[in-house]
Homo-oligomer: A and B are copies of this chain.
Amino acid sequence: MSTVRKAIELLNWFSADRSQISLAEFQRLTGRDKATTYRYLTALEETGLLEKDPVTRVYRMGPAVLRLAHVRESTVPRRAGVRLVLPRLAEATGELAHASILQGHSLVALTDHASTRHSARVVLDEPELPLHATGSGLAVLAYADPALLKVTLKNLKRYTDHTQTTRNELESALETVREIGFGIVDQGYEENVFGIGVPLFDSSDRVAGSVAVASVATRIDANAIALTKCELIKAARQITHSWGGSVPDDLDQIWSDTLSSLSNEFNFHREATA
C-alpha cells in the first residue's frame, strides 16, 4: 500500500466518539511504528487535514476538511436535492425525516428535518447509522454491492433488545426488503424508535444513500405506515432523480404496486371515516 494511503487512513480512526487522538493512542490503534506514525501525523497536520492541540498535543480533525467539504457540496450538491424534499416528507408524515449517504462502508447522516406537529420527537445525534440496525441501513444493504454485506456482517453490534445480530436474521431481513421495497426496523437501533427507509441512487445507478422516516414506536399504526411508505416513495424518486440517478426497474415496479394498493386502502379509510 502506498505511503500516501497509509497516512490518509489515519483519518479514519477519528469519529464523533473518538474525536481526539494522541500519538501514543495512534500507536496502539494501528500497531505501527511510533516514528512513522509521528511523521504521518505531522504531514497531515502540515496540510491542515489534522490539527494538533499545542498544549495537550492530541490530534483532531483540521480546518482544511471544511473547505474540502464545501467544494464537494458545490460539485456534487446532494444536500440541495435533499433539502427540497425532506421538509415536505417530515410535514406529511408528522415525524422525523432524514437522509444519509453511503461512504465506503458507512452510512452517514446528511441532514434531517423534524416535523412541527409533534413535540415528542425523535432526535438524531449520531452521524453514522449502523447498516444492520436501521431502516436506512437495511434499505441500502439490500440494493448495494454484496461486498458491503460481507463487511457489515463482521460487526453486528447490539444496540437494543430488538437488534438483529445474526447473519441469518440479517439475510432474511434483506430478503424481505427486496420483496417489499422498504427497510423496516422496529426499535433495533434506539428504544422506542420505529424506522422505515428506502434506498437512493446516483448517476452510476448504484446505491448512494437513503432517505428514512423515524417515528415514535408507540405512535405508529398501519395507517401511519401506509402514509409513510407513500411519502417515502415519492421522496426517494425525487431525490434519486435530482442526483441524476434512476431507481432500478424491479424496485420501481414494487414501489408502483405498493403505491396503487396503498392509495386504495388509504382512500378507503379516509372515505370510511368521512
Mark A residues whose CB is within 8 Å of B: 2-5, 7-9, 11, 14-16, 19-20, 39-40, 43-44, 46-49, 51, 53-54, 60-76, 79, 83, 87, 101-104, 106, 108-111, 113, 118-125, 127, 203-204
Contacts and interface: CB of A to CB of B under 8 A. Distances in A.
Chain A interface, >50% SS class:
mixed
Given A60-B76, A65-B68, A76-B60, A3 B3 contact: yes
A196 to B, nearest CB: 22
Contact of A5 (B47, B67, B70): B47
Contact of A65 (B2, B15, B46, B72): B72
Contact of A61 (B11, B68, B79, B124): B68
A64 B39 CA distance: 22
Contact of A48 (B19, B87, B104): B104
A247 to B, nearest CB: 18
A194 B29 CA distance: 51
Contacts of A101: 63, 66
Given A19-B74, A68-B69, A108-B66, A8 B8 contact: yes
Given A5-B43, A44-B4, A118-B83, A63 B103 contact: yes
